[in-house]
Amino acid sequence: MNVFRLLGDMSHLLAILILLLKMWKTRSCAGISGKTQILFALVFTTRYLDLFSSFISIYNTTMKLFFIASSYFTIFLMYSKFKATYDSNHDSFRMEFLVVPVGGLAFLVNHEFLPLEILWTFSIYLESVAILPQLFMVSKTGEAETITSHYLFALGSYRLLYIFNWVYRYYFDGFFDLIAVVAGCVQTILYCDFFYLYITKVLKGKKLSLPA
Amino acid sequence: NGVGGKHDEL
């Protein structure tokens, strides 16, 4: 565990808490992509099956359980409790366009051809593109609430910090996981445009809106 | 490491 990894995890945790807080306080999930949230639940479920097979630390187990539980709770809020506020018309990205190719790739490019390993690889690839329905939704409506942009910024920061973590681990621990690194870089690149808008607009007190 | 290595990250 290094400082980048810890900050990355905290940023990820913060993102989830911001999202839950936004929904709970406003009693609304407007502007949030249910598709992205379903994909995240799938990511956590397929990656953390190792909860049953290997123990790393109390920290690791606790975080995994929280990520899984919060992702399903988010889906419950969006599709049940606050269903009336869910903006499904603008959430039109097709999940199968991500899940199917990513599933195929996980079968072809993995560290080891074992069920748990393929599922882990699937979750890594899927996580890298799971934000696309949300970004698509923002671009379709042309705007995002400020709280939603804070959520996206925290989520993007998490992946950026993980890249620093991998650089650190490569030099100081001799650790290098090509699959995680490539997917993590792709994931971070997807946020670049958003980071630019966040810094130039939201941090200056303006709402995040896209030019027509 | 890295080839089917232990996945200790979240």
Task: Tell me the residue type at A18.
Answer: I
Torsion angle in degrees (nearest 10) through CA of A195, A200, A202, A207: -110
- Residues with Cβ < 8 Å from A155, sequence gap 6 or more? A11, A12, A15, A131, A191
- pLDDT at residue B6, as a whole number: 78
Residue A186 lies in a domain: yes
Q: Which of A9, A56, A111 sits opposite B3 (nearest CB)?
A: A111
Which residues of chain B are within 8 Å of residue A114 when distances are taken between CB atoms? 4
Contact B3, A111 (CB under 8 A): yes
Is the per-residue pLDDT at B1 higher than 90? no
Residue A164, both tokens? 């620093």
Count of domains for chain A: 1
Residue A111 lies in a domain: yes
Residue B10 and residue A12: Cβ atoms within 8 Å? yes
Task: Tell me the residue type at A2.
Answer: N
Residue A124 lies in a domain: yes
Residue A212 lies in a domain: no
A112-146 residue pLDDT tens: 999 999 999 999 999 999 999 999 999 999 999 99
Q: If residue A48 lies in a helix (H) or strand (E), which one and from where to where?
A: none
CA angle A128, A134, A140 (to 5 degrees): 135
Which residues of chain B are within 8 Å of residue A120 when distances are taken between CB atoms? 7
Residue A210 lies in a domain: no
- pLDDT at residue A10, as a whole number: 98
The pLDDT-based confidence of B4 (bands split at 50, 70, 90) is very low
Measured between CA atoms, the residue of chain A closest to residue B2 is A177
- The sign of the torsion formed by the CA atoms of A201, A207, A210, A212 equals negative
**Interhelix angle A146-172/A132-141, nearest 10 degrees:** 150
What's the whole-number mean pLDDT along residues A21-35? 97
Domain limits for position A109: 3-86+93-205
| Mean pLDDT of chain A, nearest integer | 96
A142-198 residue pLDDT tens: 999 999 999 999 999 999 999 999 999 999 999 999 999 999 999 999 999 999 999
CA-only gyration radius of chain B, Å? 6
